[in-house]
C-alpha cells in the first residue's frame, strides 16, 4: 500500500510527463498541438510547504508549473505568501502573533517566519521567498514558468521586476477580472495570462 504522500508524488510525476505540447488530433478549430500547463497550486499542492522556493523548484523539476501568491511587505518588497495572517502556515508563534496581519509586516519580520514545519517536520527551516529570488531561479531557463496570483501587489512594481530579471514570457498573470488582464497586458504584453472562472458548469456555460 502506498502512503498518501507517495500517491501524491506519483500523481504529480504522471502529470509532469504531460506538461508538453499535446499532439493528439482534435476537432477542427481546436488548439491541437498547443502546449498546456499542469498547475501546482500554491507552489506544490498539498505535498510540500507552499509558496517556498524549494516547492517551486520541485514542481519545475517535475515539468509542472507552480503558482506563487504575491504580497508586499510594508517596506515595499514583493514576496510569496498566500494568507492574510500568520495563523495557518507559520510555526513557533504564540496565539497573539498568529493573528497578526501579513500586510503589517516589514521584510525583516517576514524573513524570520518559518513556513515549512506546518507540512512536516522534515521541511522545518523553510522561509518566505522574495519574488526576485524566484525570478533569479527562472532567468535563463525558459522552461520554468510561474503562475502569479496577485494578493496585494502594485502592478507597475511587478512589471519592473519582471523586466529586471527578463522573465516576461515565463510568467502567467492570473485574475478573476478581465479588465485587470487588459491593464496587465499594457505593461507586459509578452506575458501569458489566465482568467479564472468559478462556479458550476451550468453557470459558466450561461456566461
What pairs with residue 149 in β-bridges?
69, 174
Q: Is residue 73 part of a domain?
A: yes
Percent of the chain at pLDDT exceeding 90: 57
**Res 18: pLDDT:** 32
What pairs with residue 173 in β-bridges?
148, 193
Tell me which residue has cell 514542481: 59
What pairs with residue 21 in β-bridges?
35
Of residues 76 and 26, more confidence is placed in 76
Q: Is residue 3 part of a domain?
A: no
Cβ atoms within 10 A of the Cβ of 186, count?
9
Q: Is residue 11 part of a domain?
A: no
Q: Is residue 8 part of a domain?
A: no
Q: Is residue 184 part of a domain?
A: yes
Tally: H helices and E strands in the chain: 8, 6
The string of pLDDT tens digits covering residues 50-104 is 999 999 999 999 899 999 999 999 999 999 999 999 999 999 888 888 889 999 9
User: CB-based burial of residue 76 (10 Å sphere; 0-12 exposed, 13-18 middle, 19+ buried)?
Assistant: exposed
**Res 40: pLDDT:** 81
The mean-pLDDT minimum among 20-34, 78-92, 136-150 falls in: 20-34
Task: Please give the residue range of the domain that contains residue 123.
Answer: 36-205
**Res 35: pLDDT:** 65
Eight-state DSSP code of residue 42: G
**Where does the pLDDT of residue 128 fall: very low under 50, low under 70, confident under 90, or very high at 90 and above?**
very high
For residue 185, the domain's CATH number is 3.20.20.190
Is 1 a residue whose pLDDT tops 90?
Answer: no
Q: How many domains does the chain have?
A: 1
Q: Is residue 30 part of a domain?
A: no
Amino acid at each position: 500500500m502506498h502512503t498518501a504522500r507517495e500517491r501524491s508524488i506519483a500523481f504529480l510525476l504522471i502529470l509532469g510527463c504531460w506538461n508538453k505540447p499535446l499532439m493528439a488530433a482534435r476537432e477542427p478549430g481546436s488548439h491541437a498541438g498547443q502546449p498546456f500547463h499542469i498547475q501546482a497550486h500554491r507552489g506544490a499542492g498539498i505535498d510540500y510547504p507552499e509558496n517556498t522556493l524549494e516547492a517551486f523548484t520541485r514542481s519545475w523539476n517535475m515539468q509542472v508549473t507552480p503558482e506563487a501568491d504575491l504580497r508586499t511587505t510594508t517596506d515595499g518588497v514583493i514576496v510569496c505568501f498566500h494568507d492574510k495572517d500568520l495563523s495557518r502556515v507559520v510555526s513557533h508563534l504564540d496565539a497573539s502573533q498568529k493573528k497578526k496581519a501579513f500586510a503589517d509586516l516589514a521584510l525583516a519580520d517576514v524573513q524570520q517566519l518559518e513556513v515549512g514545519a506546518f507540512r512536516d517536520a522534515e521541511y522545518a527551516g523553510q522561509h518566505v521567498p522574495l519574488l526576485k529570488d524566484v525570478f533569479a531561479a527562472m532567468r535563463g531557463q525558459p522552461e520554468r514558468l510561474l503562475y502569479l496570483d496577485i494578493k496585494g501587489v502594485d502592478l507597475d512594481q511587478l512589471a519592473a521586476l519582471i523586466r529586471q530579471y527578463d522573465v516576461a514570457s515565463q510568467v502567467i498573470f492570473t485574475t478573476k477580472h478581465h479588465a485587470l488582464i487588459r491593464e496587465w497586458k499594457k505593461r507586459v504584453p509578452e506575458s501569458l495570462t489566465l482568467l479564472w472562472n468559478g462556479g458550476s458548469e451550468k453557470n459558466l456555460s450561461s456566461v
